[in-house]
Chain A
C-alpha cells in the first residue's frame, strides 16, 4: 500500500524548518489552518502576520518585507491569490521582489467545494509574469524540498499545492529535487508523459497500463513550469518522439501550453495535452473530479496512443 499525504502539509513542514532563518516571515489571509502555515504561526507568532481576509494587501505587505531584506511566504487558496494578480504583477514581479506565494487547494482535485474554489487557471496566469518561478509539486516530500529551496532564491514565486492526499513519491530521494529541473520517474522510449502536481501519480498509473499493452512510456515530474526544463523536453523528444502532458488545470496556458510553446520553437514532436477542456468544474470527490474532467489515468493512456499514432 502506497503512503499518501497532502502536498500542503509539505509546505507547512518546510516553513517550520525554514524558521531557523530569522528573515523568514509568514503571511496569512485567514486560511492558515488550510494552507498549513498554522504550524509556523504557533511556533513563531512574532514572525507571522495576519492580513485578515485581504489577499491584495497580503501580497504587497510581502513586497514591503522583501524590499527590506525579509523572506516572506504568503499563502491562501490558489483561487484567492488570483484576486491579487495585479498586485503580483505590478508590485512583486515587476520590481522582482522575492515574495513567495503559495496557492493551496488548487485544481479540480480540491473537490467538493465546487467550481468557485477549483482554480484551473492559476498556473497559466502566473506563468505570463516575467521573473516569477511557477511550481506545482506532486508529493509532500518534493513540496517541502522545493519550498525550502525558494528561501535561497532571489526571485518571486508561485507554488500550487493540493488539498487532498496523493502518493508519496520522493521518500529518500530528496537530492533529486531542484527548482527548474524535471525528474524522470520512469524511463521509456515510445512516448513521454510530462505531468505536474496531482497528475504525476496518474501518469505513473497510465505508464503501467501502457506497459501492459506493450507500450514503453517515460514519466516526468515537471514540478517547475517556469523556468521550464527545456533541455529535458528536447531529450524526451529525441528518445520517445511523442509527448503527452497531464495537468489538473485548463489545457490553455499551463503545463501543456508551456511544453507546446517549447516544442514548436525547438525540436518538434506530436503532443497531446491532457487537462481541463476549457470548462469549469463542479462539486465532487477528488478522484471523481479527475474522471469527470477526463484527466485521470485512462485518459492519459488514450492520449498516449493518439500521440504515438501521430508520429511521422
Chain B
C-alpha cells in the first residue's frame, strides 16, 4: 500500500509531465488534466486491478476517461504505471504518436475507450459493467466525467439506465472543477444541486476534496465497497491545480503555456529545467 506522501509525490511528477506535454505540443488541455490528476493517481495506485505488463488482460478493472481531452493527465499516470514510457509522452499530439490528442484505445496501451466526444464514456462503462456481470467477474468499472460534460443529455440516459440495472460494479468519478471551455460552468449552464440530481437518478453519492489524497483514497474505497447499485464520487477540484496562473482560470482549459509561463510552472512544481 502506498502511503499518502508517496501518492502526492507521484501526483507532483504527473503534473510535471502534464505541463511538459502541453508546453512541448503548444496545444492541449492542461486545466482539466491538473484538476483530475490527484484522483487518477489515487485510482491507479490504490484501486484499479490492472497489469501494466498485460494491458489487455480480460479480467482487468476498466477505466474510462470520458473527458478524453484531459488526456495529458491520463498519459502521465500511464507512464508512471509503466503502460507507456516517459519518452512516449513526447508523442503527445505528434503524428504517429501513441499519445493522440484525445485518449484512444487503438493507439495507447492501457486506454480502455476512445473518448474525446463528451457524454459517451458512461454508456460505454455501463456496457463494460454488464459484461462483467455476465462474465460473473468481480471487476469494477470506473468512469471519469467532467462537470461541464454532464450537460450532455446522453449522460443522463446512461445514469438512468445504470441505476435501473442496479450496476453495483459501475462507478463514476466526477471532476467538479467548475470550469468548462468558454467560461465558468455557472455562466455557461447552471447545474444546480449536482449531488441531488444523481441521488434522484438512483445513485449512491459521496463528495470529497479531490486534492486531499486521504479523502481521494477513502472515496475510491467507498466506490469499490458500495455494491447496491452504481455510485458516484463527486470530487471538488480546482482547474489548473498546482500551477498558480492556471488555477481557477478558464483561459487554461485548452491553452498551452509560453516559455516564460512554462519556467514559472516548473518552478512552482519543484522541478528543475534544463
Residues of A with C-beta under 8 A to B120 = 60, 87, 90-91
Most chain A Cβ neighbours within 10 Å, of B119, B126, B153, B165: B126
Pairwise interchain contact B129-A64, C-beta atoms closer than 8 A: yes
Complex: A87 Cα to B105 Cα, angstroms: 16
Which of these, A46, A52, A56, A60, contacts B127 with CB under 8 Å?
A60
Residues of B with C-beta under 8 A to A69 = 58, 131, 135
User: In the complex, what's the smallest C-beta–C-beta distance from B140 to chain A, in angstroms?
Assistant: 13
User: In the complex, what's the smallest C-beta–C-beta distance from B230 to chain A, in angstroms?
Assistant: 13
A154 in the interface (beta carbon within 8 A): no
A106 in the interface (beta carbon within 8 A): no
Residues of A with C-beta under 8 A to B123 = 56-61, 63-64, 87, 91
B151 in the interface (beta carbon within 8 A): no
Residues of B with C-beta under 8 A to A58 = 123
Residues of B with C-beta under 8 A to A47 = 134
Complex: A121 Cα to B58 Cα, angstroms: 38
Residues of B with C-beta under 8 A to A66 = 127
Complex: A91 Cα to B130 Cα, angstroms: 17
Residues of B with C-beta under 8 A to A95 = 104-106, 113-114
Stretch at the interface among B156-164, B235-243, B264-272: B156-164
A49 in the interface (beta carbon within 8 A): yes
Pairwise interchain contact A67-B128, C-beta atoms closer than 8 A: yes
B125 in the interface (beta carbon within 8 A): yes
Interface string of B147-190 (1 = CB under 8 A from A): 00000011001101100110000000000000000000000000
User: In the complex, what's the smallest C-beta–C-beta distance from B197 to chain A, in angstroms?
Assistant: 17
Residues of B with C-beta under 8 A to A86 = 117
| B contact residues, range | 20 to 34
| A104-151 with Cβ < 8 A to chain B | none
Residues of B with C-beta under 8 A to A5 = none
From known contacts A57-B126, A57-B154, infer whether A68 and B114 are also in contact, taking CB-CB under 8 Å: no
Pairwise interchain contact A68-B154, C-beta atoms closer than 8 A: no
Residues of B with C-beta under 8 A to A25 = 130, 134
Which of these, B124, B153, B161, contacts A91 with CB under 8 Å?
B124
Residues of B with C-beta under 8 A to A186 = none
| A221-237 with Cβ < 8 A to chain B | none
B116 in the interface (beta carbon within 8 A): yes
B112 in the interface (beta carbon within 8 A): yes
Complex: A54 Cα to B112 Cα, angstroms: 23
Classify the secondary structure of A's interface with B. helix
CB nearest neighbor in B for A57: B157
| A173-219 with Cβ < 8 A to chain B | none
Complex: A70 Cα to B134 Cα, angstroms: 9
Complex: A202 Cα to B134 Cα, angstroms: 44
CB nearest neighbor in B for A49: B130
B132 in the interface (beta carbon within 8 A): yes
Pairwise interchain contact B135-A56, C-beta atoms closer than 8 A: no
Pairwise interchain contact B160-A52, C-beta atoms closer than 8 A: yes
Which of these, B131, B161, B165, contacts A54 with CB under 8 Å?
B161
Pairwise interchain contact A63-B124, C-beta atoms closer than 8 A: yes
Interface string of B6-42 (1 = CB under 8 A from A): 0000000000000000000000000000000000000
| A42-97 with Cβ < 8 A to chain B | 46-47, 49-52, 54, 56-70, 72, 86-87, 90-91, 94-96
User: In the complex, what's the smallest C-beta–C-beta distance from B2 to chain A, in angstroms?
Assistant: 28
User: In the complex, what's the smallest C-beta–C-beta distance from B156 to chain A, in angstroms?
Assistant: 9
Pairwise interchain contact B135-A68, C-beta atoms closer than 8 A: yes
Pairwise interchain contact B164-A64, C-beta atoms closer than 8 A: no
Pairwise interchain contact B161-A52, C-beta atoms closer than 8 A: yes
| B64-117 with Cβ < 8 A to chain A | 104-106, 112-114, 116-117
The contact sample of 9 A-B pairs, CB cut-off 8 A, is: A46-B134, A50-B164, A52-B164, A57-B123, A63-B113, A67-B131, A68-B58, A68-B132, A95-B114
Q: Footprint of B on A, CB under 8 Å?
A: 25, 46-47, 49-52, 54, 56-70, 72, 86-87, 90-91, 94-96
A68-B58, A91-B124 given; 18 more Cβ-contact pairs under 8 Å? A25-B130, A46-B134, A47-B134, A52-B161, A61-B126, A64-B113, A64-B125, A64-B130, A64-B131, A65-B128, A67-B112, A67-B128, A70-B131, A90-B116, A90-B117, A91-B117, A94-B106, A95-B105
Nearest 10 A/B pairs, CB to CB = A64-B127, A60-B123, A68-B131, A54-B157, A57-B157, A61-B127, A64-B128, A56-B154, A64-B124, A65-B127
